[in-house]
Amino acid sequence: MKLEIRNLTKTFGGVRAIDDVSLDFPSGSLSAVIGPNGAGKSTFFNLISGAFPADTGQVLLDGDDVVRLSKTARMQRGIGRAFQVASCFPTMTVAENLTAAVTAHVGQWGNLSRRFPPPGVRERAGEVMELIGLSHVANVEAAILSHGDQKLLDIAIALALEPKVLLLDEPTAGMGPEERWRMIERVRGLWEQRKLTLIFIEHDMDIVFRIASTIRVLCYGRLLAEGTPEEIRNNQSVIDAYLGTEAHAE
Amino acid sequence: MKPHPASRDVVIAAVALIVVLAIPLFHRSPAFEDFIIRLSAMALFATSLNLPVGNTGMVSFGHGMFYGLGAYAFALMMQMTDLSLPVAAVLAVSITTLASFCVGAICVRLSTDYFAFITLAFQMLFYSVVISWQSLTGGDQGLRGGIPRREIFGFELSSQLHLYQFCSVVAVLGLLALRHVSTSPLGQTLRMIRDNEDRASFLGVVLWRARLLAFTIAGAFAGLGGVLAALFVSGAYPELADWPNSGQAIFAVMLGGINSFLGPALGAAILLALNDAVTRFTEYYGLVLGIVILAFAVGFRRGVLDFLRLAWPRSSK
């Protein structure tokens, strides 16, 4: 599914968090959004997923503008997201997390006439669990999962809703170097298998340059540059605003 | 969790009911029968409260209002009309359901602290109405004159044995219905809301609708408990609708355990037994109760059944 952003703007009390950003994410693309802290990356995701409304601009899904729709309606149209801080249901097991998510997705959350889970739901949850590689912890409570597995569960919950466009906000945040690579390989595997339009926010430049086919750089709410890893690496304004300062800081 | 088939709950309920009904055949003890009658009302009251509190994470301080309303509505209908007992009971529960729907519609959109306060406010409003509307409710004297005893299906409820049988059957069926709610997809949705309401709403759950359903169902079953209470005291008293009574239900939920379905019912039994035992020795019942509650809240940090389930995770799951 193709995602196009047109002139998206959001201000918070006079601060332009996202300032007239236009971007295309072709169907089946794998792109990274990078930028310094406070560049508006998470806000950008929040505007696409509908967590809060945009001031002006359009969010086009295969040409249909969804910018006025609620986050639930956008989710039903195929925009899924995982969160920077893993967001799951801590007292439930991994399997229950996913069966509950699928149950909600098929519109059965208010059902009182049968037992949980409704028929067919467990199988679909099992498929997602298999796909993301959490089957071995199916009966473990989410609260006591490792940090990495919690992030995976968060992504799995998003996948349970069968998104066409998947937004991952720092999938490798808080992970050690090895765990990061395992995580990002799984993300890449998902992208290939499910033919997703995948967009992720990431701070680790090694990962970004190795994985993403297109990179978008945000800075102070504006689009600073976009292009292939090679182009971004050699873009002087990106080096000045972001890559350079990071190298300087390290 | 391996979900159990619904038949398992029905079998457990049936066995429990048969045991309770069989006891008087072997040994008649008025004190025990009184205890079970009071427990039926209290168990429904506390277990229904656990739907918003334990399942959904909404602490309501006004649950006694629905218990009291069920009792008053039932007792008044029995005194003022010629309706048969089951019809009056069904009507009383319907009135309570409608009331909890209306109160819930106002309350459930508020966040936790405000929700707790406004439920308490509604409870106090209801209590004031009961106290001041003397011509209808008898004011602080309560509804006196007794409930006309009408025979239903061969049951004569002025006989203690028949009342005992009637209350146990109603309570077990009521608990079974509440069990069904908590194991339904809606029950799971309520747990999602308790755990992480933001994520639940991202998944398409309409939060206020789910909460309102939980609140309304809880009110309905509290009303059913109130009907049993009215039968036991043969009338209705303002204390049933007063806030310390809501507190009793919260105590029962805390004592028994919020994460186990039967926790609140067990808590109600402990509370009643404690009441009976302590009042025999001292008038400072509140002091003893307070110490027990503190021990559970600060010491164990969970109710009896939750504690046991953690100690023996296998046997209970």
In a domain, A115, yes or no: no
In a domain, A169, yes or no: yes
CA distance B259 to chain A (A): 10
B205/A contact by beta carbon, under 8 A: yes
Give 3-state DSSP helix, strand, coil % of chain B, rounded to 5.
80, 0, 20
Band (pLDDT 50/70/90 cuts) for residue A249 is very low
For the segment A173-225, what is each residue's pLDDT rounded down to a tens digit? 888 888 888 888 888 888 988 889 999 998 888 888 888 889 999 888 888 88
In a domain, A90, yes or no: no
Q: Total structural domains in chain A?
A: 1
Whether residue B186 and residue A161 make contact (CB cut-off 8 A), yes or no, is no
Cβ neighbours of B181 in A, within 8 Å: 112
Nearest residue in B to A87, CA atom: B199
Size of interface A-B (CB pairs under 8 A): 104
Cβ neighbours of B257 in A, within 8 Å: none
For the segment A75-122, what is each residue's pLDDT rounded down to a tens digit? 888 998 888 888 899 999 999 999 999 999 888 898 888 888 888 899
Q: What pLDDT score does B289 carry?
A: 82
Cβ neighbours of A103 in B, within 8 Å: 185, 188-189
CA angle B223, B227, B230 (to 5 degrees): 130
List A24's β-bridge partners, or say none: A4
Q: What is the CATH number of the domain that holds A16?
A: 3.40.50.300
Residue A201 host element (H or E): strand A197-201
In a domain, A120, yes or no: no
B4/A contact by beta carbon, under 8 A: no
Q: What pLDDT score does B4 carry?
A: 61
In a domain, A47, yes or no: yes
Whether residue A112 and residue B201 make contact (CB cut-off 8 A), yes or no, is no
Distance CA A204, CA B296 (A): 48
Cβ neighbours of A89 in B, within 8 Å: 191-192, 195-196, 199-200
Side by side, the strands of the sheet bearing A15-25 are A15-25, A3-12, A56-61, A64-65
In a domain, A27, yes or no: yes
In a domain, A226, yes or no: yes
In a domain, A239, yes or no: yes
**Domain limits for position A242:** 3-78+163-249
Q: Copy the structure tokens of residue B59.
A: 């602490």
Q: Which residues of B176-197 are buried (b: 16+ CB within 10 A; e: fewer)?
A: bebbbbbbbbbbbbbbbbbbbb
- Residue pair A62/A1 in contact (Cβ under 8 Å)? The answer is yes
Segments of chain B scoring below 70 in pLDDT = 1-4, 150-151, 153-155, 313-317
